[in-house]
């Protein structure tokens, strides 16, 4: 899978397409089969007790998968998430950023499928896993 | 399934447990087998074009399932989402609130399972469906 | 959603397309928004103890969704399951057939989405729920 | 994760617990974080055209996850699948066995979570992916 967009272009893309949340994410690396994305954890992502909320973890997985697809097909495509299955396995560590590692498993003409592992920074056991399907509209 | 908490107590519970998002939701009705919850759509929930974002729809389903479980087991329980599978089927209508209808399918001692349909206000075809599993910790 | 195929045509279709398992299923009713399918439970579907196996329940949901889609778009389409999320909630009753009630939630040009509840005959609490996505290939 | 059961004991366990399908599977390896299981593809697993059916792929993932859990907690535990989310991504190659690689992501006291990739023998792109949750009953 050829890489068409690298980190800084991907970050510009998020800022444009998701203006409310663009600043929450940082592209750590475009990897051989996907991407690694950081969630810069802030007050708005937390539940009482300091743990990151489920919807914030979902948003991280969703954005990471979107960017992984964009990194391979380029910014012109209007793809949308059609399905996500997510398992919350452990409580995230308080006061730490989260990382999401996406692995693209299929990049077809109309559907892309990938899975994600999400970690608290500096820990080895994933806090969550997710798999997502994206629908890629036909080129004109 | 006996109802232990009604709408206003549930709203107080959200405000306490999810302080950052508590004001986003309104309990429309505690139904025979679940709950109907409204997302008061605001600027922060939108994508360019005016449609509600996927993470906002996930947050609605997650909160609705939580409240449906709480309405039956009471506020003392510390339950957590362990799994969610969600299908995004149609683009939400711009400028309209969303409703989530939860149906509890199982309310066991340690696991609760429910499914959700999500609608734009005033429309008949669901924009999304979700199923969620909650883990209920053992009583002391 | 107009109905294009009724029960006996659907059963002929299963017998042709799934010759190894066609005789396991009986179309009970093509409903307003889907279908109700019976699994004629036999020795091969059971686990020790007499309960129906998970893979047999999956096969019932998969076949029921397939027939629900076929009942609306007709037999010529080569659709395939792309995703299934299934929750096993209760042990099926020994010695009873299972029913699957499918509800089509979306029937688009390229994707169909539906959900299923599965019951042991004569009982009110579902043994499982599932949601499935089908990919419908473009017409020539 | 310490390994408590190796291949031949796991195969004896399948033969005992799943007598109708035990002979369909062969344990290739108990790996560092899971297991690799082979489906010995036979006529009964096929659809017209020679491709392996969806329910057969589900059965492979379900059995592989079960054995991965058993390999770590031993044969005495009565665990059951509570959830599976599966994506069918490519058509399996006709006339080839399938392999399922399970990776255990969480092995808690009451819940185990793992994910699977499924391949046609000799190919590099997975035909399917699945994630499963197992409920492990409390020890007496």
Query: pLDDT at residue B46 above 80?
Result: yes
C126 contacts chain B (CB < 8 A): yes
Residue C20: list chain D partners with CB under 8 A: 43-44, 46
CB D45 within 8 A of CB D53: yes
d(CA C116, CA C81): 14
A86 contacts chain C (CB < 8 A): no
Closest residue, chain C, to D49 (C-alpha): C17
Summarised one tens digit per residue, pLDDT across range A32-60 is: 999 999 999 998 898 877 889 999 999 99
A12 contacts chain C (CB < 8 A): no
Q: B83 and D133 in contact by Cβ < 8 A?
A: yes
pLDDT at D77 (0 to 100): 62
Lowest mean pLDDT among A69-73, A97-101, C113-117: A69-73
For residue C92, give how far its alpha carbon lies from the nearest alpha carbon of chain D (Å).
13
Query: pLDDT at residue A140 above 60?
Result: no
SS3 B63: helix
Q: Which of C13, C20, C78 to mutate to test the interface with D (most CBs of D within 10 A)?
A: C20
How confident is the model over A64-89, as a mean pLDDT? 91
Give buried/exposed letters for C32-55 (b at 16+ CB in 10 A, else e): eebbbbbbebeeebbbeeebbbbb
pLDDT at B77 (0 to 100): 62
Q: How many CB contacts within 8 angstroms connect chain A with chain B? A: 66
Residue D83: list chain B partners with CB under 8 A: 83, 133
Query: pLDDT at residue D86 above 80?
Result: yes
For residue C115, give how far its alpha carbon lies from the nearest alpha carbon of chain D (Å).
13
How far apart, in Å, are the Cα atoms of D66 and each of C11, C56, D69? 33, 16, 5
Query: What CATH superfamily classification does C7-135 receive?
Result: Hotdog Thioesterase (3.10.129.10)
Q: D133 and B133 in contact by Cβ < 8 A?
A: yes
d(CA D70, CA B40): 47
SS3 A115: strand
For residue C74, give how far its alpha carbon lies from the nearest alpha carbon of chain B (Å).
22
d(CA C78, CA D51): 14
Average pLDDT, chain A: 91
Rounded to 5 degrees, φ, ψ at B13 are -65, -45
D85 contacts chain B (CB < 8 A): yes
Among candidates C113, C125, C129 on the partner chain, residue whose Cβ is nearest the Cβ of B115? C129
Lowest mean pLDDT among B123-127, C88-92, D31-35, D135-139: D135-139
Cβ neighbours, 10 Å, residue B124: 6
d(CA C53, CA C140): 39
Closest residue, chain A, to D133 (C-alpha): A87
For residue A76, give how far its alpha carbon lies from the nearest alpha carbon of chain D (Å).
24
Summarised one tens digit per residue, pLDDT across range C101-136 is: 999 999 998 899 999 999 999 999 999 999 999 998
Residues in chain D: 140
Domain ranges of chain D: 7-135
Pairing of strands C128-135, C111-120: antiparallel
How far apart, in Å, are the Cα atoms of C94 and each of C18, C43, C91? 26, 11, 9
Q: Using CB atoms within 10 Å of the CB of residue D125, give its burial: 0 to 12 exposed, 13 to 18 middle, 19+ buried.
A: exposed
**For residue A37, what are the β-bridge partners?**
A27, A100
Summarised one tens digit per residue, pLDDT across range C73-85 is: 988 667 899 999 9
Query: pLDDT at residue B140 above 60?
Result: no
Query: pLDDT at residue A67 above 60?
Result: yes
Query: pLDDT at residue D76 above 70?
Result: no
B105 contacts chain D (CB < 8 A): no
d(CA C51, CA C22): 21
The dihedral of CA A39, A45, A49, A53: what is its sign? negative
How far apart, in Å, are the Cα atoms of C140 and each of C78, C96, C134, C136? 12, 43, 18, 12
d(CA D128, CA D87): 6
For residue C50, the 8-state DSSP code is: S
Subunit partners of chain A (3 or more CB pairs within 8 A): B, C, D
Q: Tokens representing B84?
A: 């969610």
């Amino acid at each position: 899978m050829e890489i068409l967009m690298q980190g800084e272009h991907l970050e510009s893309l998020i800022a444009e397409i998701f203006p409310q949340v663009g600043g929450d994410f940082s592209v750590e690396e475009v990897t051989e089969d996907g991407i690694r994305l950081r969630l810069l954890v802030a007050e708005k992502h937390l539940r009482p007790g300091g743990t990151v909320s489920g919807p914030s973890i979902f948003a991280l997985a969703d954005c990471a998968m979107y960017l992984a697809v964009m990194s391979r097909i380029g910014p012109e495509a209007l793809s949308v998430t059609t399905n996500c299955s997510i398992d919350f396995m452990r409580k995230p560590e308080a006061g730490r950023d989260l990382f999401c590692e996406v692995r693209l498993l299929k990049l077809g003409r109309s559907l892309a499928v990938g899975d994600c592992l999400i970690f608290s920074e500096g820990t080895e056991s994933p806090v969550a896993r997710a798999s997502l399907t994206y629908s890629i509209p036909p080129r004109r």
